[in-house]
A = this chain, B = another copy of it.
Amino acid sequence: MNLPALRGHNEALVLELLRGAGPAGLGRTELAARTGLTPQAVSKITARLGADGLVAEAGRAASTGGKPRTLLRLVPDVRHAVGVHLDRDALRAVRVDLAGRVVAESGGPLDFAAGPEAAVEAVVRAVGRVGAHAGPPLVGVGVAAPGPLDHRAGVMGRVTGFPSWKGFPLKGVLEGRLGLPVLLDKDTNAGAAAAAGAWLRSTWPEAGAGADAYADAGRGAGAGAGAGVGVGPGAGADVGPGVGAGGDVLLGGGPRTCVYLHVGTGLGAGLWLGGGVYRGARSAAGEFGHQVLLLDGPPCRCGARGCVEVLCLEAVARGDLPAAARIVGEAAANLVALLDVDRVLLGGRVVAAAPDVFVAGVGAVLAARALDPARPVVALAGAGVAEGAAEMALAPLFGRG
C-alpha cells in the first residue's frame, strides 16, 4: 500500500459510509468517528470529493449543544455503471447510479449458441442503448455469465453445451470495444452481489421517474421489499443525532452475509461473505447442487447419490414443486447454518416458473431450522443478476474492489 492507494482507500471509506447513509447524509464529525481519521483529515477528503462533484452538502443536523454539523451526502448521479446479464437465451443490461438504483435498462433474446462474437456485438449494442446517451461518465461495466470462468483473467470456461465459448477472453475483448473497465464473473456471484446491494440501496428512495426516459423494457420483478415511498433527494435536513442507521448496517456487528441460490438446469450458489464475493482457492466455491442431502439416495450424474440436484430436479420433473422447494430449503438451511447467513435470494428458471411456491417453501424450512426465526430473509432475485453485475462494477469506488 502506497500513498496514492492510501488516499483512494480513505476516499472509498468515506464514500461507502455516505452511500450507506442515504440522501439524509452524515456529518463530518460522524465520518471521522467511523473511519478513525481525524476531523481535519475528513475535511480534506470531503473537500476533494466535493471538488469532483461526488459529495455535496445536504443541510444541517440539529445542534447537540454547539455548532450544528453540516451534513454531507453522496451525489448519486455524477457517475453511473452498467451491469449486463448474459444468459443462455437472453441478455439484459441496466444502467445504475452510484446508489445502485436502476436508471435505464434494455433487454432482449440472445442466442448463446451463436458464439462469443455475436454475443459481444449484442453486449456492445445493449450497453450503447443504456449508456450511449448523454449522461454522467460510466465507472465500468460488470458482466455476469454462466460459469465456470476465470474471474481474474476474464476468460470464459467450459459452459456445458456451448463449446465455442471455452477460453474466450470476454473481458479483454469487451474492454477493447467499450473503452471501459470490464468485470466478468459468474451469474451466481452477481446474484449474491445483488443480494448484498439491496441493503446498500435500501436507504435510498427509488430513482426519479425522469431518469427512465430511455428505458426500452419493463421493470422486472424487483428485488424484494423496496423502501416504497419516494422522498425526493436533497430533502433530508434536520435529522436528529441518531442518524446513519444505514452505516450501522455496514459496520455494526459482523459483516453481512448473503447467498444467491440458482435453480435452473443445475443448482448453484453465489456467496457474499465479509463484504465481498467469496470465490475460494480455485474460484470453485458455490458448488451447491451436489451437496448430499439423502445418504444412499438416487444416483446423480455427478457420480454421488442423493445430491440436492437430483432430488430437486426429480421433484420438478414429476410436477411436485412444493417438494422441490422443500428440498432446496433443507439444503439452504444447511448452508445458512454453516455460514451464518443474513439473506437468501432465489433465482433461476425453475424458481421463476413458480416464485411464490419457492419463496414460501424455502422460507418455511429456513424459519423452522434457523436459530433466529427472523433470519435469514428470503426473497426473489427477480431480474436482479444484471443489477448485481452493476454493483460489482461499482464496488471498487467504495473500496470493495
Contact = CB atoms under 8 A, between A and B. Distances in A.
Interface string A333-371: 111011111100000000000000000000000001101
Contact of A257 (B10, B280, B288): B280
A52 interface: no
Nearest to A283: B254
A13 B5 CA distance: 15
Interface string A226-256: 0000000000000000000000000001111
A299 B290 CA distance: 24
Counting chain B CB atoms within 10 Å of each CB, the highest count among A38, A290, A339, A371 belongs to: A339
B286 A338 contact: yes
A interface, size bucket: 35 or more
How many copies the complex holds: the figure is 2
A397 interface: no
Interface in A272-287: 273-274, 278-287
A225 interface: no
A120 interface: no
B282 A278 contact: no
A278 B273 contact: yes
A293 interface: yes
A166 B339 CA distance: 24
A327 interface: yes
A286 B372 CA distance: 16
Contact of A330 (B6, B10, B254, B292): B292
A293 to B, nearest CB: 6
A126 to B, nearest CB: 31
Contacts of A253: 281-282
B284 A340 contact: yes
Counting chain B CB atoms within 10 Å of each CB, the highest count among A36, A280, A333 belongs to: A280
Contacts of A256: 281
Nearest to A376: B281
Contacts of A265: none
A2 interface: yes
A338 B295 contact: no
Contacts of A334: 291-292, 334
9 contacts: A253-B282, A254-B281, A256-B281, A274-B278, A280-B340, A290-B337, A292-B334, A295-B311, A295-B327
Interface of A: 1-3, 6, 9-10, 13, 36-38, 41, 253-257, 269, 271, 273-274, 278-288, 290-295, 297, 303-304, 311, 327, 330, 333-335, 337-342, 368-369, 371-372
Given A6-B6, A283-B340, 5 more contacts: A2-B41, A257-B280, A271-B339, A281-B341, A334-B334
